[in-house]
Amino acid sequence: LSPEARQVKRRQILFLTRKSDVSLQVQLAVQLKDLIQSGQLGAGDPLPSSRELAAELKVSRNTVVYAYERLISEGYLNSRSRSKVFVSDTARELRSAAQRAAQRSKAQQQNSPAVHVPKASYSDGPKPFRPCQPDVQLFPLALWNRLRGRALRTTNRSLLHYNSEAVLGFRPLRENLAAYLRDSRGVVCEWWQIAITTGSQQALYLLANLLLKQGDRVYMENPGYSGAVRAWKSAGATMEHLPIDAQGMVFPALEKAAAALVYVTPSRQFPTGASLSLARRLALVNGAVNTKTWIVEDDYDSEFRYIAPPLPSMQSLDSGNRVIYVGTFSKLLFPSLRLGYAVLPKSLVEPFAELKTIAEDHGPMIDQATLAAFLDSGAFYSHIRRCRKSYAERQQAFLDAIAKGSLPLDFRYRDGGMNLTGFLPESCDDLVWSARLKRAGLDVPALSQYASVATERGLVFGFTAFTPTQIRRGVEKMLSLRLDRPML
């Protein structure tokens, strides 16, 4: 073919449009790959120079360079000299491997049982009244990004290396956090006792692996946090579910009924909201010291107290190094940050570090450095104050709106937290109520969903992620359902 005829042919074969969501570079790379895979371009065939093809297709030269580079890195093209690009000799094998893979995945789709595949690639956010959700709109994202940029600049790329010596986290973050926990929660610790984890869930999972063996007994609150139950069960432990009353978890004397580990949310029991009384805290810690039982204290949302500050942590009462204090930044900052921590008794620091090396090494260092700067700058404290104020208003908006109806919901624990549990009389089936709310577009879990053995009935309402207007609308919708009347 004459060069002119080749040009016309290429223009007919390659068609790029600016109206697509797919970039021109990607369109070109995909179309060239199709030509190679379908055999229309064979091994050794030359491609026009990037300048020539860009002029023909009326796109920038960079567009063509990007497409060529991508296909070179995938092995479909090679460049023998600076300007000449050819279809590679391995393109044929790549083509048959790609075809085989396509056939296999089609066959798998037809034959395999249904697998749960998430619909969206990212979340649209929680629906009212999903519990335990912070309002990410309140988070000072622009400041965070500035601190992130600064952290990268001042550490001169050292955060980008493997930082295995920092398996328990970025040291300035651990130092700042130790100071914060000492001042705000009375936690007694040195910075090196703090292990930064990817969310408190990872801390629970690693602790389960470190402290429990098959058949060990774990005391768990009922209703309680299913993430913790899953962690303990993964290590083969058997659960002993303990009831909750107005003073928190009701537990037998550890001296009489031995357990390897007790998991407790003393500041605000999850999900009821009851606070563990001082007398019970002391009994539990003393029992644990006497019997060498581990206590895992999960302090997931104690910063959000609207009336009076919470009692100091249980860890602060522990003279025998039996309490492991676990916390998270998911609620204070934002959940996808996946940063939490465990404050470890000295004897557990090294074994925990060893286990963490196997699980993931040190976690994302850039986020940890940014968080250290966020604490250092004081922005962390202003953010907590701002959230606390908003959340207190939202809690009040919720309670005011609900008081306009006559549902038999008893909100016993109102002094703080991110959720309000409305207890129901036994005659009301909380699972049925929750299902009816779900059909109306509201996300309100039943208290029974958190229970492993029968417990009180109720509904758990999160209010922190929603504006007062959203809250009022949600409550009005709920009241219009007349949940206390049987459906016709």
Q: Which of 191, 199, 194, 195 is nearest to 228 (CA)?
A: 199
Strand 457-462 relative to strand 85-87, pairing = unpaired
Query: According to the binding rule CB under 6 A, does residue 269 interact with ligand PLP?
Result: no
Nearer CB in complex with ligand PLP: 132/295: 132
Stretch that binds ligand PLP, among 58-66, 195-203, 364-372, 393-401 (CB under 6 A): 195-203
SS3 content of the chain, % helix, strand, coil (to 5): 45, 15, 40
Give the count of alpha carbons within 13 A of 265, CB side only.
Answer: 26
Nearer CB in complex with ligand PLP: 68/463: 463
Query: According to the binding rule CB under 6 A, does residue 275 interact with ligand PLP?
Result: no
Nearer CB in complex with ligand PLP: 417/422: 417
Judged by CB under 6 A, which of 293, 330, 421, 434 binds ligand PLP?
330
Query: According to the binding rule CB under 6 A, does residue 421 interact with ligand PLP?
Result: no
Q: How far is the CB of 197 from ligand PLP (least distance, A)?
A: 8
> Exposed, middle or buried: residue 331 (CB in 10 Å: 0-12, 13-18, 19+)?
buried
Region 10-39 residues binding ligand PLP, contact defined as CB under 6 A: none
Cα separation, 437 vs 67, in Å, equals: 50
Judged by CB under 6 A, which of 270, 380, 461, 466 binds ligand PLP?
270
Stretch that binds ligand PLP, among 36-44, 75-83, 163-171, 193-201 (CB under 6 A): 193-201
Judged by CB under 6 A, which of 201, 368, 395, 448 binds ligand PLP?
201
Q: Phi, psi at residue 249, to the nearest 5°?
A: -65, 135
In angstroms, the first-to-last Cα distance of the chain is: 78
Nearer CB in complex with ligand PLP: 170/270: 270
Strand 46-47 relative to strand 340-343, pairing = unpaired
Judged by CB under 6 A, which of 335, 351, 405, 468 binds ligand PLP?
335
CB of 446 within 8 A of CB of 458? Answer: yes
Q: How far is the CB of 298 from ligand PLP (least distance, A)?
A: 5
- Kindly state the number of chain residues that form the binding site for ligand PLP, as judged by CB under 6 A: 13
Nearer CB in complex with ligand PLP: 451/483: 451
Q: Distance of CA 89 to CAs 31, 36, 70, Å?
A: 19, 11, 17
Stretch that binds ligand PLP, among 30-38, 157-165, 196-204, 316-324 (CB under 6 A): 196-204
Judged by CB under 6 A, which of 200, 275, 316, 464 binds ligand PLP?
200
Cα separation, 294 vs 297, in Å, equals: 10
For residue 241, give the H/E element and its range.
strand 238-242
Q: How far is the CB of 302 from ligand PLP (least distance, A)?
A: 11
Strand 244-245 relative to strand 248-249, pairing = antiparallel
Nearer CB in complex with ligand PLP: 37/434: 434
Amino acid at the residue 236: G
Cα separation, 472 vs 467, in Å, equals: 9
Region 219-258 residues binding ligand PLP, contact defined as CB under 6 A: 225
Q: How far is the CB of 34 from ligand PLP (least distance, A)?
A: 43
In the complex, the residues that contact ligand PLP under the rule CB under 6 A are 132, 199-201, 225, 265, 270, 298, 300, 328, 330, 335, 340
